[in-house]
């Protein structure tokens, strides 16, 4: 069968980047210069021709997240915005975590920061005073059950947690939807915060780690019971995360001087995530979940 001309365009558009995208899609093709300022992409089948034309149209108007975007540098603005729109809860969690961390380092007067800690922390006669849980929640300030997850105490703490939040959160939100992601964020976050406060009786703690372990637990059991390929974890990741949890609980990390670890939040977040993942798997069949 003779080659089929799928695309003909001016030399201006950089077809090398689009060609890389086609190879990533496993579409055999060739790119030729016609000698008169035009370039042609030829493929072997009509099906590949239709696919190449459709992807080229979306690549040109910036609505396709392609291998070309990753090769050529920063992705188009439309791709970034499209990703955020498709993952609103995960993106919001990252955004609020960055803001919360800026407050930890920039709000020495506690003017805003005191609204986000598990119990109220404020300055009184030049000293820091901490309200009891009874006093704080007696005023109806229930948002504090969640808000400590957005506070991080160090740049590495923030970066490490945001990488895992994005990696695991996008898998869950893409496969199970924003409502599920929101429910897990709230339940694993609040559950982990409550456990951490009961374990240490200290209001100044925070971080997304409990939520991260909640995401891990949900993805683990949901995939195990349903076989959903969209939520399958990379090989070795589960073992690494569970091993890290045990190392932290052993006290080795704190003994080496890396700071306090919110072990109670990690453990309870994992249990909450596992319960939600297993419960969802019992309620929905793999066939139903594939279309959710």
70 or 187, higher pLDDT: 187
Q: What is the model's pLDDT at position 232? A: 86
Our measurement of the distance from residue 220's CA atom to the centroid of its chain's CA atoms, rounded to an integer in Å, reads 16
Provide the percentage of residues in the chain whose pLDDT is more than 90.
37
Neighbouring C-alpha atoms within 13 Å toward the C-beta of 38: 8
Domain that holds residue 44: 4-83
- Active-site residues, by number, are 209, 266
Whether 146 and 194 have beta carbons less than 8 Å apart is answered as: no
Q: Which pTM was predicted? A: 0.70
Within 10 Å of residue 8's Cβ, how many Cβ atoms? 12
| The pLDDT of residue 144 is above 60 | yes
| Model pLDDT for residues 97-138, shown as the tens digit of each residue | 999 999 888 877 777 888 899 999 887 777 888 888 899 999
Tokens 């990696």 -> residue = 167
> 29 and 143 in one domain?
no
Please give the structure tokens belonging to residue 32.
């030729």
User: Residue 191 and residue 179: Cα distance in Å, rounded?
Assistant: 18
Distance, in Å, from the CA atom of 273 to the CA atom of 216, rounded to the nearest integer, reads: 7
Q: Express each pLDDT in 41-55 by its tens digit.
A: 888 888 888 888 888
One domain for residues 30 and 140 = no
H or E segment and range at residue 4: strand 4-10
- Of 159 and 202, more confident: 159
Q: Into how many domains does the chain fold?
A: 2
- 166: DSSP letter: H
Whether the CB-CB separation of 187 and 271 falls below 8 Å is answered with no
Domain end residue (candidates: 60, 83, 106): 83
- pLDDT on residue 1: 58
Q: Give kind and range of the element (H or E) at residue 191.
A: helix 178-200
Q: How many residues does the chain have?
A: 292
Q: Give residue-wise pLDDT tens across range 153-197.
A: 888 889 999 999 999 998 899 889 899 999 999 999 999 999 999
Rounded to whole angstroms, the Cα distance separating 68 from 58 reads 12
pLDDT band at 4 (very low <50, low <70, confident <90, very high): confident
Is it the case that residue 285 has pLDDT exceeding 80?
no
Range 13-30 average pLDDT: 76
Q: Please indicate, yes or no, whether residues 151 and 246 belong to a single structural domain of this protein.
A: yes
- pLDDT over threshold 90, residue 66: no
- The domain that contains 64 carries what CATH number? 3.30.70
Classify each residue of 157-175 as buried b or exposed e, where b means 16 or more C-beta atoms within 10 Å of its C-beta: bbebbbebbeebbbbbbeb
Question: What is the CATH classification number for the domain harbouring 217?
Answer: 1.20.1540.10
Domain shared by 34 and 119, yes or no: no
């Amino acid at each position: 069968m003779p080659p089929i001309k799928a695309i003909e365009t001016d030399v201006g558009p950089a077809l090398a980047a689009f060609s890389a995208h086609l190879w990533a899609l496993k579409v055999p093709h060739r790119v030729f210069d016609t000698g008169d300022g035009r370039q042609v992409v030829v493929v072997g089948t009509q099906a590949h021709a239709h696919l190449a034309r459709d992807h080229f149209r979306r690549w040109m108007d910036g609505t396709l997240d392609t291998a070309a975007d990753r090769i050529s540098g920063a992705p188009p603005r439309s791709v970034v915005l499209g990703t955020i729109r498709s993952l609103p809860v995960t993106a919001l969690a990252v955004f609020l975590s960055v803001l919360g961390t800026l407050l930890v380092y920039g709000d020495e007067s506690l003017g805003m920061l005191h609204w986000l800690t598990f119990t109220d922390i404020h300055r009184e006669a030049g000293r820091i005073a901490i309200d009891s849980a009874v006093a704080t929640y007696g005023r109806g300030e229930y948002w504090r059950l969640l808000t400590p997850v957005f506070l991080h105490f160090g740049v590495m703490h923030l970066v490490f947690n945001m990488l895992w939040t994005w990696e695991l959160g996008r898998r869950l939100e893409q496969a199970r939807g924003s409502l599920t992601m929101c429910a897990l964020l709230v339940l694993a976050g609040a559950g982990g915060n409550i456990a951490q406060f009961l374990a240490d009786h200290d209001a100044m703690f925070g971080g997304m780690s409990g939520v991260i372990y909640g995401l891990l637990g949900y993805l683990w059991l949901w995939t195990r019971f349903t076989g959903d390929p969209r939520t399958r974890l990379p090989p070795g990741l589960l073992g690494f995360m569970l091993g890290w949890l045990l190392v932290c609980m052993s006290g080795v990390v704190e003994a080496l001087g890396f700071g306090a670890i919110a072990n109670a939040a990690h453990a309870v977040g994992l249990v909450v995530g596992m319960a939600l993942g297993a419960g969802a798997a019992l309620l929905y069949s793999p066939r139903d979940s594939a279309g959710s």
